[in-house]
Amino acid sequence: MLRTGMESRLNTHHPTLYFPGGDIILKFADPKQRNIGGYIYLRIHRKNLEAYPDLLKALTTSTESKQEFYDGGIPIFNPAEELEDVTRVLKFIYEGESSLPLTDNDFDAAYTHSSLFHMSLDYNIRPLQKHLIDHIKKDWPDTLPAWDLRERVYYNRWEAAKHWAHDRHAPEPAAVILLARQYPDNKALQDILPRGLYHLSRISVDTGSYPQQNADALKLEDYSPRSARLELLSYEDRFKALAGRERMLSRIAEEFQEMEVGENCKAPTNTKCQKNMRARLAIITQNFLTAWDPLTMLKDNFSEGKSEVIPEGEEEGEVCSCEKEWRDWVGGVRTRLFESMNDFFLDR
C-alpha cells in the first residue's frame, strides 16, 4: 500500500488498474469510505495514454497543491474526474471494445453512458467516440428503410411484453438531442439531431414523466405511447420540434396539391379510379389533422395492402387500376419527408 500505519487500512489498490510497472499513480476518494478519508489508487502506464494527450493532461493535473510521490519518485495525481468514469475510460484504452460491450438492449446509451460520451468527446478519445456513436446511430438510422426496420423492432419488443411502457423497449430523444447541442462540432451527433427532434415532435406533451407511467395508457392494446426526459431539453428545442412538425405538415399539403395519381388512367373504370383516389386523399387529410407521426401513419394505413377504399358501386375485391401508382406516390412522399428532416427541424 502507499501509506503505512493505521491509515493504510483505508487505502486500496484498484483491483484491475494497478500495474506494478506503471509510472503514473492516480488517487481518488474511495466512494465506499468517503466519510472516513479512504482512497483508491490506480497505477497506469504513461505510454498507454500518449495517444490521448488531452486525457493525459487532465489525469496528471492534480487538484491538490502539494505534489505527492511514491517510492522511486513515481508522481501521484488527484484528478478532478470521477473514479467510475476514469476507470471505464482506462479499461477501454487497455482492453478495447470488449470492456464495453453494447447490445440492442442498450437503446438508452446516450443517457446511461453520457459521462463516457463527455470524456470521449472532451478529451478526443476517438476509438471510444466511434464505439459509442456507432452504437447510437443504429437506433437513429439515416435511411427510411432502416428507420422503418428499427421501428418494427421496437414494436415487436413492446408487443412481446404488452402493458410495459414502450419506453422500456426503445430510445427516447432528449438525451441524444442534449448531446448534439453540447457538441455542435461533432458531425455524427449533428447528423442524428433532426431525427431526434422528429421523434420528439411525435410525442404528446400529455404523456407525462419518463418512463411512461400512466396506467390507462399502459392498458392500450394497440400501442403504448412513448415519452421523453423533457427536463433535459431547452425551451428552444421543444419549440423546434413543434415548428418542424408544422413545416412537415405544410410540405405534405404541397404534396397533396401536386398529386397526379389517377389523372392519366386509361382503364374503363377511370371515373371510379379517380373517385377512389379522392376518397383516399380525403382520409389521409383527415388523419393528418390528428396524426402525431406522419411517417408511420402513411406507412401503416396507406401503403401496400393497407386501407383499401372501395368506391360506391364497386365490388369489394376489385383493385384500383392505379394501385401501383398510388403505392409509389405514398412511398415517394414518405421518402421525401424523411430526406427533408434537416429542412424541417434544423436552424434556417
Classify each residue of 222-232 as buried b or exposed e, where b means 16 or more C-beta atoms within 10 Å of its C-beta.
eebbbbbbbeb
**310 pLDDT above the threshold of 80:** no
> Does residue 194 share a domain with residue 130?
yes
238: in domain: no
Q: Do 170 and 57 sit in the same domain of this protein?
A: no
Is residue 138 located within the same domain as residue 25?
Answer: no
Question: Do 125 and 186 belong to one domain?
Answer: yes
**Helices 83-95/126-139 angle, 10° precision:** 100
* pLDDT (0 to 100) of residue 299: 81
Q: Which range of residues forms the domain containing residue 56?
A: 5-81
pLDDT tens string 10-32: 678 999 999 999 999 999 988 87
Please tell me the distance from the alpha carbon of residue 58 to that of residue 63, in angstroms, as a whole number: 10
Please give the helix or strand (H or E) that residue 188 lies within, else none: helix 187-201
Where is the domain boundary, 167, 199, 233? 233
Within-domain flag for 91: no
What is the number of structural domains in the chain? 3
Residue at 201 is within a domain: yes
Q: What is the pLDDT of residues 86-132, one digit of tens each?
A: 999 999 999 999 999 898 888 889 999 999 999 999 999 999 999 99
Q: Are residues 225 and 297 in the same domain?
A: no
Instruction: Round the average pLDDT of the chain to a whole number and report it.
Output: 81
> Do both 259 and 225 map to the same domain?
no
| Exposure letters 251-289 (e unless 16+ CB within 10 A, then b) | bbeebeeebebbeebeeebeebbbbbbeebbeebeeebe
The grid cell for 191 is: 447528423
Q: What percent of the chain has pLDDT over 90?
A: 44
Please tell me the predicted confidence (pLDDT) of residue 90.
97
User: Is 244 part of any domain?
Assistant: no
* Statement: residue 307 has pLDDT above 50: no
- Do 228 and 256 lie in one domain? The reply is no
Is residue 23 within 8 Å of residue 77, measured between CB atoms?
A: no
Alpha-carbon torsion, ordered 28, 30, 31, 36, to 10 deg: -120
pTM: 0.82
Q: Is residue 242 part of a domain?
A: no
Helix and strand tally (H, E) in the chain? 15, 5
Instruction: Specify if 246 maps to a domain.
Output: no
State whether 202 and 134 are in the same domain. yes
In a domain, 148, yes or no: yes
pLDDT score of 270 more than 70: no
Return the axis-axis angle of helices 235-258 and 294-302, rounded to nearest 10°: 40
- The residue that leads in pLDDT, 131 or 273, is 131
Length of the chain counted residue by residue: 348
Residue 90 lies in a domain: no
Residues 76, 144, single domain; the answer is no
> Same domain, yes or no, for 148 and 227?
yes
Quick one: 229 and 148 in the same domain? Answer: yes
Q: Does position 201 have pLDDT exceeding 60, yes or no?
A: yes
How are strands ordered across the β-sheet holding 74-77?
A: 11-18, 39-44, 24-29, 74-77, 68-70
Domain identity same for 225 and 317: no
pLDDT tens-place string over residues 54-70 = 999 999 987 666 778 88
